[in-house]
Structure 1
Amino acid sequence: MVPVNSPHTYSQNTRLLDALSAEDSSVRLQVALAAGTHPDPGFLETLMERSAIEPDFFVRDMLVWALTRLSPEITVPRLRAELGSERAQARSQALHTLSKIGDGSVWPAITRSLLHDADDEVARSAWRAAVILVPDGGREELAAELAAQLGRGDRKVQLSLSRALVALGDVIESALLPGLASDNPEVQAHARATELLLRDPDAAFDSAIDDAKRLHALGPDRA
C-alpha cells in the first residue's frame, strides 16, 4: 500500500481534486463515483474539501457515499472536526455523512448549537443525524430540544422537524404539550400537525397544518 502522504498520493489527490472541480456536474458525479468504487484513504481530505463547496445535490450525495466507503477509523474523527467549520455546507455535509455511517460514539458531537444552528440546512441535517445516533436514554431530552423549535422556517423545514420528532416515537407526546398550548398560531399548528403525523404517518402534512391553523382561528368550540 502506498503511504497516504507519499508523493504518489499527493499527485493522485491533486488529479482527483482537479477532476472534482470540472465545470460539468456529470463529470464530477462520475469522478465521485469512481472514488467510492475504488476507495483510497488518501482521498479523504480531497473528498472532504469538495463536499464543503460542491453546488450540485447529486454530486454531494455521491461524495457522501464515497466517504462512507472509507474506514470509519479515519473518516469519523475527520467528520467530527468538520462539525466546527465556519462553512455551513461543510457542517451540513459532515452531519449527513455521519448519519449514514451510523457510529453511535459520535452522539456527544451532535451539540445543542448544531440542533439549533441558524442555517436551516445544517439544522435539518443535525435533526436527521440526531434521531439516528441518539441513545435510548437521550430520546426525551432530544425530543424537548427539537420541539422547542416548532414553528421554525418554511414548509420544508417544518416537515423535516416533524419527521425527526415522529421518528423518536411516543416520547414526543409530552414534548409537544408546550407547542399545543402556545399562543403562537404557527407553533400551535406545527405541534398539532406533528401530533397527527405521530398517530397517522400517512396523513398529509400540508392538510394537517391547514386544519390546525383553522382550529386555532375558530377556537375549539367553533371548529
Structure 2
Amino acid sequence: MTMQKPAFEGLEDSDSSVRLRAAMAVGTAPDPRFIDKLIERCAIEPEFHVRDMLTWALTRHSPSMTVPEVLKELHSERGQARSQALHTLSKIGDRQAWPAITRALLSDADDEVARSAWRAAVVLVPEGEEPELAAVLSTQLGRGAREMQLSLSRALVALGEVIVPTLHAAMTDLDPRVRAHAIATERLLNDPDAAFEFAIEEAKRVVALGTTSKEE
C-alpha cells in the first residue's frame, strides 16, 4: 500500500511529469482498484502523453474489468471522455466492445470523437461486417480539413478492398469534396506510400475535369 497511495494521489498532481510517472506505476503493477481512477483521469487529463499512459495502464488490467467501465464513458457529455474511451477500446482490442461503436459515434459532431471512433471501428469490426462499416464511414467523406480527411482515409484503407464499391459510389456524389475525398482514398488504397496531400490535390483536379479514376 505504500506504493499505491502515492501513485493514486500522483494521478491528480499539478505536475504532468508526476502524473505520467504515477500512470506508469499503476500500469506496471496493475490493481483493479485503480481502474475507475484511470478512466476518470482520461476524461479530464490535458496532456496527450499522460492520457496515452493512462490508456496503457488500463490495457494492463483485465479486459473483463476494464471494458465494461470504459464503455460507460461513451455516453459522457464530455468529448474527451468519449474520444479517450474509444482510443482505449481500440488499444484493448476486445471485440465484445464492437456493438458500442454506433453510427452516432462514427458521425459524432466532435472531430476527435469521430476520429477515435473510426480508428476503434476498424480494429474491432467483426469479420464479414467490413462492407457495412465502410458504408457508414463513407457518409463522412469530405468532412473537415486535411488531417481529418486523412484519418478517415486511413480508416477506410485499413478495411482493404471491400471499400472499393463504396468509394466508387461516393465518386458520383453531388458534393465535389466527397468525390475528391473518395478518389484520393482509392489512390491511397492502391498506393499506401502515396502522399495524401498529393492524392487529394490530384483528386480535386480530376473532379474539376469531370472525370473519375474509373474513367481514366
Aligned runs of 1:45-84 on 2, under 5 Å? 45-84=36-75
Equivalent-residue separation in structure 2 for 1:42 and 1:220 (angstroms): 59
What SS class does the counterpart of residue 136 from structure 1 fall into? coil
Q: How far apart are 1:125 and its partner, in Å?
A: 0.7
Normalising by structure 1, what TM-score? 0.90
Partner of 1:110: 101
Q: How far apart are 1:220 and its partner, in Å?
A: 3.4
Does residue 44 of the first structure (1) align with residue 1 of the second (2)?
no
Give, as a single letter, the amino acid of the residue that structure 2 aligns with 1:196.
Answer: R
Does the CA contact (< 8 Å) of 1:51 and 1:63 recur in 2?
A: yes
Aligned runs of 1:17-36 on 2, under 5 Å? 17-36=8-27
Does the CA contact (< 8 Å) of 2:8 and 2:34 recur in 1?
A: no
1:86–1:16 Cα change, 3 Å: farther
Does residue 217 of the first structure (1) align with residue 213 of the second (2)?
no
Matched-pair identity in %: 65
Partner of 2:151: 160
Normalising by structure 2, what TM-score? 0.93
Superposition RMSD in Å: 1.9
What SS class does the counterpart of residue 181 from structure 1 fall into? coil
Does residue 100 of the first structure (1) align with residue 100 of the second (2)?
no
Give, as a single letter, the amino acid of the residue that structure 2 aligns with 1:190.
Answer: H
Gaps of 5+ in 1: 1-7
Does the CA contact (< 8 Å) of 2:134 and 2:159 recur in 1?
A: yes
Q: How far apart are 1:181 and its partner, in Å?
A: 1.1
Partner of 2:183: 192
Equivalent-residue separation in structure 1 for 2:8 and 2:31 (angstroms): 14
Equivalent-residue separation in structure 2 for 1:134 and 1:166 (angstroms): 14
Partner of 2:81: 90
Does the CA contact (< 8 Å) of 2:8 and 2:22 recur in 1?
A: no
Does the CA contact (< 8 Å) of 1:16 and 1:46 recur in 2?
A: no
Give, as a single letter, the amino acid of the residue that structure 2 aligns with 1:134.
Answer: V
1:136 to 127, 134, 138: 127
Does the CA contact (< 8 Å) of 1:189 and 1:209 recur in 2?
A: yes
Equivalent-residue separation in structure 1 for 2:140 and 2:211 (angstroms): 24
Q: How far apart are 1:185 and its partner, in Å?
A: 1.8
Does the CA contact (< 8 Å) of 2:38 and 2:54 recur in 1?
A: yes
Equivalent-residue separation in structure 2 for 1:154 and 1:69 (angstroms): 35
Give, as a single letter, the amino acid of the residue that structure 2 aligns with 1:43.
Answer: F
Q: How far apart are 1:16 and its partner, in Å?
A: 4.0
Does residue 208 of the first structure (1) align with residue 199 of the second (2)?
yes
Number of residue pairs matched by the alignment:
213
Equivalent-residue separation in structure 1 for 2:128 and 2:198 (angstroms): 33
Equivalent-residue separation in structure 2 for 1:17 and 1:175 (angstroms): 48
